[in-house]
Each structure stands twice: as C-alpha cells, then as structure tokens.
Amino acid sequence: MTDQGGREIEQDIETDFSRQMSYGDYLRLDTLLSAQVPLSDPPQHDELLFIVQHQTSELWLKLMVHELRSARALLAADELSPALKRLARVKHIQRTLTDQWSVLATLTPSEYAEIRPFLATSSGFQSAQYREVEFLLGNKDTEMVKVFGHDPATRDRLAGLLAEPSLYDEFLRLLGRRGYAVPAELLDRDWTGRRPSHAGLVDVFAGVYAAPHDHWGVYETCEELVDVEDNFQEWRFRHLQVVQRTIGQRPGTGGSSGVAFLRRALDLTFFPELYEVRARIGG
C-alpha cells in the first residue's frame, strides 16, 4: 500500500481504526473542527480567519493558565526549579500568541467591515481566560468579575482567583520563607485587587541584583518574571497595532474606545518592584 505521495506505507503502521483510537479520536477533531461556524449572510470569506485566530488564541490561553497555575503551586511548595520550567514554556506560548497577530493583520479595513456587523457586542475584552491570566499574574479587578455574571461557573472561577495569591505573591512568600526581608504586610494580606509598589521590596531586590551569584535562583526568577511581563506588553502592543490598522479610532465592538482603551493597558505592570529596582543597579 502507498500513501498519496507515492511512498510505501510500512507494514506495521496502523491503518484500521474501526476498533482502535485514531489521531482524530484522541484530539476530538470532529468536535474541534466543527466549532468554526461563520454567521455572515451572505457568507464572507474572511470570517473564518477571524474565528480561527481567536479560537486558537483561546487554546493557547488555556495552556498558559494551566502552566501558570502549576508554576504558582510549585512556588508555594518551594519547588523553584520546576516553576522556572513552567515559566519558560509560558514565554514560548506568549511568543506564539504575539506572532499570530501577523495573520490577523492581513485583514484589511474593508474586509473587516464586511464581518464586523455579525460580531454584534462580542469582543476579546470578554475573554475569561485572558482575565484568568491577568489575575494569576496579579492584575486583579473586581469589576471584571461582574462581566461574567451571566456565566456562574466562570464568574466563580475568576472570583476564586481574585481571592488567592498571584504568582508574584507566591514568589514573595517563598522569599520570606527563605529568610529574605520581604515586608510582613506583603506576605499575609487581602489578595483581592492590585497593590501599590512597596519600597521595602525594592530594597530586597536591590540586594539580590547587587550580588546575583549569591542569590542565583532568586535572581533568575526575577528575570524570568520580567521576561513574562515584557512578552505580555509586546502582545498588548501588537494587538493595539492590529486594531489601529483595521478600525482606526473607531470604538470597539464591545463598547470600549478601541485603540485608546488598549493604549492605556500598556501602562499596567504586574511586577512593579522588578522594574523600579533597575534604577538602583550600579548606582
């Protein structure tokens, strides 16, 4: 027997899946590939691109949430090295998500205008998994939980994350257990909401950066976290650019101001002390 390329199929390769699990069965491709259902009428060629772009982004976000939750649990268990392995994978996921914007950027303003009416009030702003990522990294907002009031399971999942320590919080708690002078009020507090930068924590990181070889695991984790934030900001910026080239200054489908709303997000930071300490290095 030969395949379509004219190659002979090896004798031991499985070809009868009437009673065995196939590739498509394992991945549930019948379900996955039937989930792209364009709504445009008459059908618009570019709607499939828009749907696939966002569905694949949600799959990568699902994996990122999985890895961040695991990294957080490992930090809580004082398992720093495997936590860093998780963050390394997160960074690769982030790069993939950022690169995907280049595909959506092929959608011209005229082409997007043909499908925009069928999006109605749906918007990426409403992505629950994106909010999970932000909450896990520390950018918490109780108002965002209310957006999912129509979906009790999602609302409760986000409310749970809101009340739990973030990845950064667990890193600080690990430092406290290792004897670093992390201010006590950062180790046991109300985890809900964002907190302002703390000068005492900047002092702790200044000591780490002054002698990195004496604090190598902690130093490496600090830089991994900065990488994660840099990647996140790059993703945000590419999103802004694609929206700007596609709709200009028009409002977003979900009611936001569009480009202006996305630009304000660039001022947010997950790990403020890890940036502030840079002004102290070598000074």
Annotated binding site for heme: 239
CA distance 62 to 130: 9
CA distance 95 to 90: 9
Strand partners for 8: 2
Residues annotated in a binding site: 50-54, 112, 116, 239, 253
CA distance 81 to 33: 37
* CA-based R_g, the chain, Å: 23
Residues annotated in a binding site for substrate: 50-54, 112, 116, 253
Which residues, other chains included, contact 167 with Cβ-Cβ below 8 Å and sequence gap of 6+?
Answer: 68, 71, 72, 75, 136, 137, 138, 225
Q: How many CA atoms lie within 13 A of 213 on its CB side?
A: 0
Q: What angle do CA 256, 259, 264 make, to 5 degrees?
A: 85
Structure tokens at 75: 């930090």
Whether 65 contacts 133, CB under 8 Å: yes
